[in-house]
Amino acid sequence: MANAVDQEDKEIEGELSSSLPSALTLTSSTQRPQEDQNLNNPSASQTFCHNVVNLLSKDDVDAAIKMQYDMYGINRVERANALLGNFNRVGKRQYEDFLPKFREHTRLIMDMKKDLENVYKRIRVLKRKIASQHNDAYEAAEYKVNGEASFNEDLGE
């Protein structure tokens, strides 16, 4: 099985070496013993990829990247992305500062609502007591203050 794989690698290397320029010619796989060849020598595809990567200089790659930045406005996109990131960070910080105050104010409003409900409940109880003890005087006073509103409507009856 190992011999078949080695044979295929040799055939691929032979085909590649005949079609590539001399600078990219692959080394022969027959220079080392069989055990070292499998451990230390890369396959033909790995060697080919390595040689293709080394064809381009770092300056050429940097120039191509700069050209892409200029052509596609990637700098604008990166700036916009940075601005949005800063906006999100500021918003998060303000939210974290605001949230405890909001919860405290919400709690305060709920307490005030309970207190007002208690006050209105007491007022209704007092109205009922006064109406039951002094019915005629209460109706006259209510008529004078509210006009035609009756005591029964005020109590919800």
Q: What is the pLDDT of residues 29-80, one digit of tens each?
A: 444 445 445 446 678 888 888 888 788 788 888 888 888 877 777 778 888 8
Selected residue with higher pLDDT from 44 and 115: 115
* pTM of the entire predicted model: 0.41
Both tokens of 107, joined, read 């709690």
CB 130 within 8 A of CB 140: no
pLDDT above 70: percentage of residues in the chain: 68
Q: Over 72-123, what HEC string results?
A: HCHHHHHHHHHHHHHHHHHHHHHHHHHHHHHHHHHHHHHHHHHHHHHHHHHH
